[in-house]
A and B are shown apart, each in its own frame.
Chain A
Amino acid sequence: MSRKVLLIEDEPNIAEAIRFLLIREGWQVETHAEGSDAIEVIQGANPDLVILDVMLPGKSGMEILRNLRELEGMQHLPVLMLTARGQSRDREMAENAGVSRFMTKPFSNAEVLTAVRDLHAQATRS
């Protein structure tokens, strides 16, 4: 059965590049560009991993993550967060919200792939 990643990112060209990389890695990739209904989309897609941008239209990635962690069965879903704001305070805020991995833009493709592989491996083991 194919592994599924849900990519929530409103920058279409970033989303396209990440989608390409992950498809090559054998992932099934779904994309979404809105923050307001992101929780429902995550619940509907039932992904193995979520890549979540912070600055999204409608609702911020931080808020989405906080809401997500409050839902039953979503406490351990791997979430890789992407943001253009990389201050330590942002990282701390993401950690408090329950992020699995935090990555600042501009990131390298290798960093994204390594993070996705690591997070999936950790989730599979546990």
Chain B
Amino acid sequence: MRDTLTGSRIRERRQISGLRQAELARQVGISASYLNLIEHNRRRIGGKLLVDIANSLSVEPSLLTQGIEATLISALREAAADAVGQQAEVDALEEFAGRFPGWAGVLAQMHRRVVSLERTVETLSDRLTHDPHLAASMHEVLSTAAAIRSTAAILADTQEIEPEWRDRFHRNLHQDAERLADSSKSLVAYLDDSEAADDRRGVPSEDAEAFFQANSHHFPQIEAGGSGADIDLSAIESAAARTVTKGYLDTYAADVRAMPLDDVQKALTEAEPDPLALAARFSVDIPTVLRRLATLPEGYLGRPTGLVVCDASGSILFSKSVPGFAMPRFGEACPFWPIFQALNRPLVPIRKRVVQLGRTAAEFDCYAYAWPQAVSGYDDAPAYHSVMLVRAVEEGAPSAQSATRVGPSCRVCPNDACASRREPSILSEGF
């Protein structure tokens, strides 16, 4: 209940009813000046007086006392923060929402829509920029269209054209028409496929990630004591992707056995989730802890948590995304991610606060650790893997001065001065 706004709602309802303040005060047996204080939220109200006022206004008392949804306030606050060139009266935000709940709802809804559309644009732009297949297909279609347009115009507009040129252009036109038909079909098939699956199919690790994503990275059967074999993988088309997924599920099951959900929950209620402390408590290695924390049901850790696993080449083997921390789907990630630095210092747990440059510039606590996968024989170099837990910093927490600036990948990183830049950023070049 938000007592502070009940008075505003009474005032709004009274005005809607066309009642004068003195009139309502008389009906409920209080002075007009006292009602005035109530309406300006300077006096708390409840009990019989609230019921009487509600009766006089012909509304349910709960309508007067019901608090404004926190999400509405939060959405309005975000809308105010995102407004460009407009200074919203944030101090009066709750007053506004209380007096004009309908308009406040519309504003919040519009803001959500804008944010959603911005994300869509960003996603599409990102796809066009980073999806080599899509970019190549679009280029093919437009180039062929340019050739057809130009050739057709020559044939149509040129009064006298040598037979040799004319034949050549006819031939070109035929070739380009065929090419356009093929490239258009290919593009449409690709887009259809992408839209339906909302991802790129065909790459086993991506199919496996999509499967985990679809299950919110949590499998109750395994949590209840089952194994990876208990999970139905028939929705995954390719055998390679099923094999990769099965491998991830087996790891998940081993992690669950090492750190059962109830025990983890108990540990988390007793202390902040510290990977080293948890590793000691459960007598497990650090990668197990980091993976396990990333697969806990939503709400266990209080903040969004992602995961990245890579091999010694830096190739990302598996990832669980976390809002605000972009993970590239094509090309390599930023070398400043702690997961890669861990590869330089195997067996040394790394904890780093990072801020990912870009639109949101959000901060994350990263825990990374690299460890040998297996020792194949005497004098053989072990194959290392590295894992990184990415945990969003608590909202409202003070910004860390020491946060390491990282990017998603070079192509979309705005840090021009980076010494590790592999290629020019399309952002700095104006794309």
A84 with B168: in contact, given A14-B143, A96-B429 (CB under 8 Å)? no
Chain B residues whose CB sits within 8 angstroms of the CB of A121 once the complex forms: none
Chain A residues whose CB sits within 8 angstroms of the CB of B151 once the complex forms: 13, 16-17
Stretch at the interface among B7-15, B93-101, B169-177, B365-373: B169-177
Q: How many A-B residue pairs have CB under 8 A?
A: 72
Decide if B327 is an interface residue (CB 8 Å cutoff): no
0/1 string, B156-199, CB within 8 A of A gives 1: 01100000010011001001100000000000000000000000
B431 touching A14 by the CB < 8 A rule? no
Which of B144, B145, B150, B175 is in CB contact (< 8 Å) with A17? Answer: B150
Chain B residues whose CB sits within 8 angstroms of the CB of A109 once the complex forms: 150, 153-154, 157
Which of B147, B157, B430 is in CB contact (< 8 Å) with A13? Answer: B147
Which of A17, A62, A84, A108 is in CB contact (< 8 Å) with B138? Answer: A84
Chain B residues whose CB sits within 8 angstroms of the CB of A89 once the complex forms: 426, 430-431
A16 touching B172 by the CB < 8 A rule? yes
A13 touching B175 by the CB < 8 A rule? yes
Decide if B43 is an interface residue (CB 8 Å cutoff): no
Residue of A with least CB distance to B143: A11
B165 touching A13 by the CB < 8 A rule? no
> A106 to B146, alpha carbons, bound, how many Å?
4
The secondary-structure label for the interface of chain A is helix
Which of A20, A92, A105, A107 is in CB contact (< 8 Å) with B154? Answer: A20
A84 touching B154 by the CB < 8 A rule? no
0/1 string, A83-126, CB within 8 A of B gives 1: 01101011011001000000001111100100000000000000
Decide if B422 is an interface residue (CB 8 Å cutoff): no
Residue of A with least CB distance to B175: A13
A14 with B153: in contact, given A84-B142, A87-B431 (CB under 8 Å)? no
Chain A positions 10-61 with a Cβ under 8 Å from a chain B Cβ:
11, 13-14, 16-18, 20-21, 24, 55
Chain A residues whose CB sits within 8 angstroms of the CB of B168 once the complex forms: 16
Chain A residues whose CB sits within 8 angstroms of the CB of B430 once the complex forms: 89-90, 92-93, 96
- Total interface residues on B, CB under 8 Å, equals 26
B323 CB to nearest chain A CB (Å) = 25
Chain B residues whose CB sits within 8 angstroms of the CB of A17 once the complex forms: 147, 150-151, 154, 169, 172
Decide if B139 is an interface residue (CB 8 Å cutoff): yes
A93 touching B429 by the CB < 8 A rule? yes
B139 touching A13 by the CB < 8 A rule? no
0/1 string, B57-92, CB within 8 A of A gives 1: 000000000000000000000000000000000000
0/1 string, B387-399, CB within 8 A of A gives 1: 0000000000000
A105 touching B142 by the CB < 8 A rule? yes
Which of B146, B149, B154 is in CB contact (< 8 Å) with A21? Answer: B154
A35 CB to nearest chain B CB (Å) = 14
Chain B residues whose CB sits within 8 angstroms of the CB of A82 once the complex forms: 146
Chain A residues whose CB sits within 8 angstroms of the CB of B426 once the complex forms: 89
B425 CB to nearest chain A CB (Å) = 11
A102 CB to nearest chain B CB (Å) = 12
Which of A55, A93, A106, A108 is in CB contact (< 8 Å) with B431? Answer: A93
> A87 to B426, alpha carbons, bound, how many Å?
12
Chain B residues whose CB sits within 8 angstroms of the CB of A20 once the complex forms: 154, 165, 169
> A82 to B165, alpha carbons, bound, how many Å?
23
> A105 to B146, alpha carbons, bound, how many Å?
5
Chain A residues whose CB sits within 8 angstroms of the CB of B144 once the complex forms: 11
> A6 to B175, alpha carbons, bound, how many Å?
25
A contact set with B: CB distance below 8 Å: 11, 13-14, 16-18, 20-21, 24, 55, 62, 82, 84-85, 87, 89-90, 92-93, 96, 105-109, 112
6 residue pairs from A and B, CB less than 8 Å apart: A17-B150, A17-B154, A84-B146, A89-B426, A105-B145, A106-B145
Instruction: List 9 other contacts, CB 8 Å, given A17-B147, A20-B165, A55-B139.
Output: A11-B144, A11-B147, A13-B151, A13-B176, A20-B154, A24-B158, A82-B146, A84-B138, A106-B142
B contact set with A: CB distance below 8 Å: 138-139, 142-151, 153-154, 157-158, 165, 168-169, 172, 175-176, 426, 429-431
